[in-house]
Amino acid sequence: MSIFSYLLPKKEKSASVAKERLQIIVARERATRGGPDYLPQLQEELLMVVRKYVAVDQDAINIQVDRESGCEILELNITLPDE
C-alpha cells in the first residue's frame, strides 16, 4: 500500500464483501438442509395458490423443516404485502 492510497477515498475491501455474501447464502442453504426433496416444489405450488388471491413476491414465502425431540415440524411463513 503506497502513501498515495491514504489520500484516496476508501473502497470496501473484497474480503468483507465475500464474508457478507457467504453468510447470507450459507444461512439460506442451511435452512433447507436435510429437508425432504419435495420442499422446493411444495413451496412453488403453495405460492401459486396464494397468488390466486393475493399478489405476493417470489421471496415472500419461507419454508423449513425443524426437528424437535423426534417430531418434524413443517414451518411455513408467507409475508403478505401492505395494502
Residues that bind other proteins (CB under 8 A): 1-5, 13-16, 18-19, 21-23, 25-26, 29-30, 33-34
> Whole-number minimum distance, CB 17 to other proteins, in Å?
9
Return phi, psi of residue 55, to 5°: -85, 100
> Whole-number minimum distance, CB 71 to other proteins, in Å?
15
Q: Rank residues 31 and 42 by Cβ distance to other proteins and give the closer one.
A: 31
Give CA–CA dist 40/42, Å, rounded.
5
Dihedral class, residue 9 (left if φ above 0, else alpha if ψ from -120 to 50, else beta)? beta
